[in-house]
Amino acid sequence: MRRSREDTAETRREIVAAASRLFRKNGIAATSIADVMGELGMTVGGFYRHFADKDQLVAEAIEQASEASTKTITSEAALVRAYLSKEHCDHPERGCPVAALCSEIGHEGKGPRRAFTDAVRAMVAALEPRDKKTRLADLATAVGAVVIARAVDDAKLRDEILAAARAAIDD
């Protein structure tokens, strides 16, 4: 059953949004096309009316997540307050795609890696007023802290890492 142009465009947006959430929450490899389409109450076949393959979806999902996430990083102060928060650690599905996908992206194709690199550049640019070396180091500290905090199975160690990173970026 054919859909209207608006419905079609809306479906495409919803696929990217669902994929963006699921990839950040569960990982790219661990998220199937069926999982993504299931989020919209749809079946797998329809996916290929919108995308050539999974790689294309991964790239667009990273772009979309990057746009939304970069808006929240307007300064070093925001990096300390919002990025290095328990809230951000607890909700990767609506957080930074760089922190969520960093060690998995190396196993993906060219498209996804390009999108990831652009996301890193956008974060560096978002911290603009500071000199570039400081911005890059702060980015490494913030991403490293969130990724390790999420990976570790001890809440006390997690809080210590986040606090240490906050203190380091604040100078």
Partner DNA sequence: TGTACATCAGTGAACGCGCGTTCACTGATGTAC
Binding residues for a second copy, rule: CB under 8 A, are: 26-27, 29-30, 98-107, 110, 113-114, 116-117, 120-121, 132-137, 139-145, 147-148, 150-154, 157, 160-161, 163-165, 167-168
Quick one: which segment of 40-48, 84-92, 113-121, 151-159 binds DNA (CB under 7 A)?
A: 40-48
Binding mask 46-65 for DNA (x = CB under 7 A): xxxxx--xxx----------
**Taking the complex as a whole, how short is the minimal distance between the CB of residue 20 and DNA, in angstroms?**
15
Rounded to whole angstroms, the Cα distance separating 154 from 151 reads 9
Locate 43 and state its tokens.
């079946």
**Interacting residues toward DNA by CB under 7 A:** 1-8, 11, 31-35, 37, 41-50, 53-55
